[in-house]
C-alpha cells in the first residue's frame, strides 16, 4: 500500500513524503527547521543570548522561588502546630 501523505517543503515548496527528513530539492532538513544554510546563519545572528538569560532568570522565576520558600515555611508551621495539637 502506497503511503501518499505528503507535505510541501516550507523552504522551496517541493512536495515531499510526510516522513521526509530533508528536502532533496533545496537541501533544507527537518533538523535545521527547513532553512537554508544562509537562513540558519541569520538565525544564529538573531539569537539574543542576553534576552534568553533574562527570560530564563526573569523576575517571575525569582518570585516563584521566593513563594516556594514561603510556602515551605507555612507548611512547617502547620505541621508544627498540628504535632503540638496531637501531642498536647
For residue 21, how many other CB atoms are within 10 A of its CB?
Answer: 9
CB of 21 to Zn ion, least distance (A): 12
DSSP string, 19-56: T-SB-TTT--BTTTTS--HHHHHHHHHH--HHHHHHHH
Q: Which is nearer to Zn ion, 11 or 41 (CB)?
A: 11
Q: Which is nearer to Zn ion, 2 or 24 (CB)?
A: 24
Q: Select the residue interacting with Zn ion from 12, 20, 32, 35 (CB under 5 A).
A: 12
* Cell digits of residue 27: 537541501
Residues 27-86 close enough to bind Zn ion by CB under 5 A: none
Compute the CA torsion angle 17, 18, 19, 23 (nearest 10 deg).
60
Residues 14-33 close enough to bind Zn ion by CB under 5 A: 14, 23, 25-26
Q: Which is nearer to Zn ion, 2 or 22 (CB)?
A: 22
Residues that bind Zn ion (CB under 5 A): 9, 11-12, 14, 23, 25-26
Amino acid at each position: 500500500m502506497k503511503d501518499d501523505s505528503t507535505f510541501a517543503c516550507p523552504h522551496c515548496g517541493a512536495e515531499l513524503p510526510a516522513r521526509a527528513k530533508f528536502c532533496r530539492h533545496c537541501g533544507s532538513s527537518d533538523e535545521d527547521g527547513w532553512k537554508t544554510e544562509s537562513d540558519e546563519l541569520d538565525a544564529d545572528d538573531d539569537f539574543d543570548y542576553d534576552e534568553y538569560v533574562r527570560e530564563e532568570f526573569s523576575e517571575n522565576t525569582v518570585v516563584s522561588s521566593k513563594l516556594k520558600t514561603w510556602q515551605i515555611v507555612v507548611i512547617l508551621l502547620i505541621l508544627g502546630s498540628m504535632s503540638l495539637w496531637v501531642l498536647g
